Amino acid sequence: MANSTIPMLTQAVSLIGNEQMEAVQAGTSVRVTAQQIANLGVNTTLPTSSFVVKPAATSIVNQGATSPDPDLQVPLLNGTYIIEVGLNVSSNGGGWQGFFAFNGGTLPNAPITGIVGVNAYSSLLDFQPGNVSGGWNLTNAQFNTNGNPFMFTATFCLVVGLPGTLAYNWGQNAAAAGATTTYQGSYIRYQKIA
């Protein structure tokens, strides 16, 4: 068998781990087993994304202060995450304001940006790094959709030093009797990348 070429050898049906093969290690010929190669544990799994999706609409009236959305909160462990947000929002009065708060991590090194376009008004909104109390703020004059929703989207990177919760906080920009609503289907997608 020592003089047979590889194509002339019998095909292995299945490997059990004790099969031996030749390898070169530091310039010297050595023998290795199939199990030793398997133990190298090459990980071919790509990171997976997880979603938190709002199951039903939440409306507020006469509330100028912000509060955490009951559905759009994500617990995160240590690591680096790509966060994508899609918020389906409308206002019949009072406008809208919103921001993301996180306890336990650091904010991005660059502003979080999102694009809003409604009633021929469009704006690039930004959430400055290190400012958990900042966010997006549209007055009713800028943002009265007469109940017609618009989609706010943003993507950013978040480095988590200590486990905590990322939460979407929102409210009316000014207290008003017309409802401001965050609709079913709004979401936070998060993917751990490191």
31: containing domain: 6-38
Give yes or no: residues 81 and 171 share one domain: yes
Give yes or no: residues 32 and 72 share one domain: no
Q: Which of 10-24, 104-118, 134-148, 172-186 has the lowest mean pLDDT?
A: 104-118
Asked if pLDDT for residue 124 goes beyond 70, the answer is no
Question: Residue 157's domain is classified under what CATH number?
Answer: 2.60.120
Question: Average pLDDT, stretch 114-139?
Answer: 42
Give yes or no: residues 62 and 147 share one domain: yes
Residue 169 φ/ψ, nearest 5 degrees: -110, 140
The pLDDT tens digits of the residues spanning 49-76 come to 899 999 999 999 998 888 889 999 998 8
Residue at 43 is within a domain: no
Could you tell me which residues come within 8 angstroms of residue 5 by beta carbon, excluding any fewer than 6 positions away? none
Question: How many whole angstroms separate alpha carbon 137 and alpha carbon 175?
Answer: 13
The per-residue pLDDT of the chain, averaged, comes to 73
Give yes or no: residues 111 and 63 share one domain: yes
